[in-house]
């Protein structure tokens, strides 16, 4: 039996080379050792914080898109939490109306894929730019953009090394035979979900996707085997949030746009993206299974050490010369994104100076493989504290007028603020996707008030608008101003897909209490301003 497992049979059927028949080479250049976004680049910045016209940006840009355009507390929490952490000014992707001034309360959100696809074809997007896209429904930023970008590139390097070991390399077209590239790569990362929402039987999106990288018993003996979806390891695509290199994102959304308009079918973005990902992974697994196998892997699969995907029931017609690989992958361990659906009980807000709680929290959650919870090195080494102190130049700004009472922020370190932690993976995500119906219906305001910045949220947003230049050394060394992430400038508002600028107050006025919860009244005319 052992010999049968490790020695390939002579009657093995050799099928055609799947990879040779279907293009999958990456569009984007080779990955840099470190994010080129964070490398030093000298660009002149005018006194008002904008970039002079005609200046060519020497390093890649960072673009932040928000799907949906309904003015709501959800949208305002998303864009405001991004602002206080110095993310690029967001671009709202609406339903494609000629004037984005339709944005406001009650606008119905439709499938934004065609609009995003058209927007990504703009010449301002270079192939190695980074694009972050989120829904408008309560995505709460927790960590600064520099940390998200560092983790994104680190994940790509780690996952591409794994893909190279599994699938190997091929000769690059148009180059000498000595030049090879890996067959499959990862350039796009989606959020990961514990639930597959596709309805078709034997759907590749549910069956062919790889197992999670978390331990097989991360939720105890019933991990992945219980009807309780909260005990599933995240392994299915959640289209609510995605980050990727612009060249690959353009290619993905071009394909998604074709599917969105195919036959006039009204299918959601979730269905389209999971379909593309499922077909990608089905073709990859089919290729792996018909290729000369690794004998160690065959033995590991037979002994149950490595999960084996059973794709025998999937009936997917493989069309010659059609692309199925779009360099997609998932963030299984919540290093970038934490998806709350069926995961409400996985999260805890922890102070990293409370050693007693850190030592007991995994036992409380019945984590079978306890590990020491430490503040990650990237947060530990981040150059700024959560609340940088105001400078004299900032205080002298005229609007909104500086008020010591309204604008007070504490002097705390990252060890002294409550950070949302996935106690099973031990990660501190940069972004929380609040898509759990349980949380949204029962505990949304409770969760929101636990975010580390909530008690001082209004003060931090006022500070951002009063003094928009990035305060961290990483931003300062990059371009000298955080609003130059994508060269358009702008602070205290959002762009639209039609390149119109909208001030924060145009979208969020009237939602102050749901956002700040401090009782200080309307934005810009806070109750305490009379004390100034």
Average pLDDT by stretches of 10, the chain with 532 residues: 47 49 59 52 53 65 85 92 92 59 40 88 88 92 95 95 85 62 91 83 81 91 89 94 95 92 69 91 82 59 61 74 91 96 95 95 91 92 82 61 85 96 96 92 93 95 72 36 60 84 89 93 73 48
* pLDDT for position 364: 93
Rg, the chain, Cα only: 24
331: part of which helix (H) or strand (E)?
Answer: strand 328-331
* pLDDT for position 94: 74
* pLDDT for position 489: 67
For residue 155, give every residue at least 6 positions away whose Cβ sits within 8 Å of its Cβ, in sequence order, or none: 186, 189, 329, 331, 335, 336
Report the C-alpha gap between 82 and 62 in whole angstroms: 13
**Paired strand residues for 130:** 62, 245
Contact 6, 299 (CB under 8 A): yes
For residue 334, give every residue at least 6 positions away whose Cβ sits within 8 Å of its Cβ, in sequence order, or none: 192, 234, 422, 425, 427, 429
* pLDDT for position 110: 44
**Paired strand residues for 420:** 349
* pLDDT for position 103: 44
Report the C-alpha gap between 478 and 475 in whole angstroms: 5
How is 160-194 classified by DSSP, letter by letter?
HHHHHHHH-EEEPTTS-TT-EEESS---EEEEEES
Report the C-alpha gap between 508 and 75 in whole angstroms: 8
Contact 248, 27 (CB under 8 A): yes
Contact 339, 193 (CB under 8 A): yes
Q: Which two tokens stand for residue 59?
A: 């390093």
* pLDDT for position 397: 58
* pLDDT for position 499: 83
3-state secondary structure 276-319: HHHHHHHHHHHHHHHCCCCHHHHHHHHCCCCCCCCCCCCCCCCC
Residues 334-349 as b or e (16 or more Cβ within 10 Å = b)? bbbbbbbbbbbebbbe
Q: Compute the half-sphere exposure of residue 282: CA atoms within 13 Å on the CB side of its CA.
A: 22
* pLDDT for position 248: 94
Global pTM? 0.86
Q: Which two tokens stand for residue 451?
A: 């975010």
Q: Which two tokens stand for residue 374?
A: 């430490």
Report the C-alpha gap between 337 and 382 in whole angstroms: 19
* pLDDT for position 236: 94
């Amino acid at each position: 039996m052992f010999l049968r497992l490790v020695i390939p049979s002579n009657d093995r059927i050799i099928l055609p080379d799947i990879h040779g028949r279907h293009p999958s080479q990456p569009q984007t250049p080779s990955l840099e050792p470190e994010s080129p976004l964070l490398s030093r680049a000298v660009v002149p910045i005018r006194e008002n914080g904008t970039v002079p016209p005609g200046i060519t940006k020497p390093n890649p840009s960072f673009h932040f898109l928000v799907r949906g355009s309904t003015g709501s507390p959800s949208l305002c929490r998303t864009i405001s939490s991004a602002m206080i952490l110095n993310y690029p000014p967001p671009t709202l992707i609406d339903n494609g109306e000629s004037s984005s001034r339709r944005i406001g309360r009650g606008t119905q959100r439709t499938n934004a894929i065609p609009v995003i696809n058209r927007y990504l074809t703009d010449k301002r997007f270079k192939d190695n730019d980074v694009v972050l896209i989120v829904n408008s429904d309560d995505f709460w930023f927790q960590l600064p953009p520099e940390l998200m970008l560092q983790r994104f590139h680190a994940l790509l390097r780690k996952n591409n090394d794994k893909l190279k070991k599994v699938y190997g390399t091929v000769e690059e077209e148009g180059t000498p035979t000595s030049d090879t590239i890996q067959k499959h790569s990862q350039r796009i990362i989606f959020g990961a979900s514990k639930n597959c929402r596709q309805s078709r039987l034997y759907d590749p999106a549910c069956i062919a996707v790889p197992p999670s990288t978390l331990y097989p018993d991360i939720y105890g003996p019933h991990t992945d085997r219980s009807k309780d979806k909260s005990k599933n390891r995240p392994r299915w695509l959640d289209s609510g949030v995605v980050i990727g290199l612009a060249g690959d994102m353009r290619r993905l959304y071009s394909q998604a746009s074709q599917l969105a308009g195919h036959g006039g079918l009204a299918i959601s973005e979730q269905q389209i993206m999971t379909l593309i990902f499922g077909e990608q992974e089905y073709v990859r697994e089919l290729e792996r299974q018909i290729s000369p196998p690794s004998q160690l892997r065959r033995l590991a699969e037979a002994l149950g050490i490595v999960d084996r995907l059973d794709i025998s029931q999937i009936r997917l017609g493989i069309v010659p010369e059609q692309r199925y690989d779009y360099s997609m992958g998932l963030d299984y361990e919540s290093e970038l994104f934490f998806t709350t659906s069926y995961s409400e009980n996985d999260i805890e807000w922890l102070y990293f100076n409370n050693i007693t709680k850190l030592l007991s929290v995994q036992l409380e959650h019945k984590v079978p493989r306890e590990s020491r919870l430490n503040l990650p090195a990237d947060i530990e080494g981040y150059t700024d504290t959560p609340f940088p102190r105001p400078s004299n130049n900032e205080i002298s700004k005229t609007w909104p007028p500086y008020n010591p009472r309204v604008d007070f922020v504490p002097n705390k370190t990252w060890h002294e603020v409550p950070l949302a932690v996935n106690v099973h993976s031990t990660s501190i995500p940069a972004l929380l996707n609040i898509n759990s119906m349980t949380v949204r219906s029962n505990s949304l305001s409770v969760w929101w008030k636990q975010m580390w910045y909530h008690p001082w949220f209004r003060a931090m947003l006022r500070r951002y608008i009063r003094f928009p230049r990035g305060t961290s050394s990483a931003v300062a060394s990059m371009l000298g101003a955080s609003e130059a992430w994508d060269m358009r400038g702008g602070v205290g508002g959002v762009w639209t897909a039609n390149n119109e600028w909208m001030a924060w107050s145009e979208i969020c006025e009237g939602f102050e209490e749901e956002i700040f919860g401090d009782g200080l009244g309307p934005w810009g005319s806070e109750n305490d301003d009379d004390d100034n």
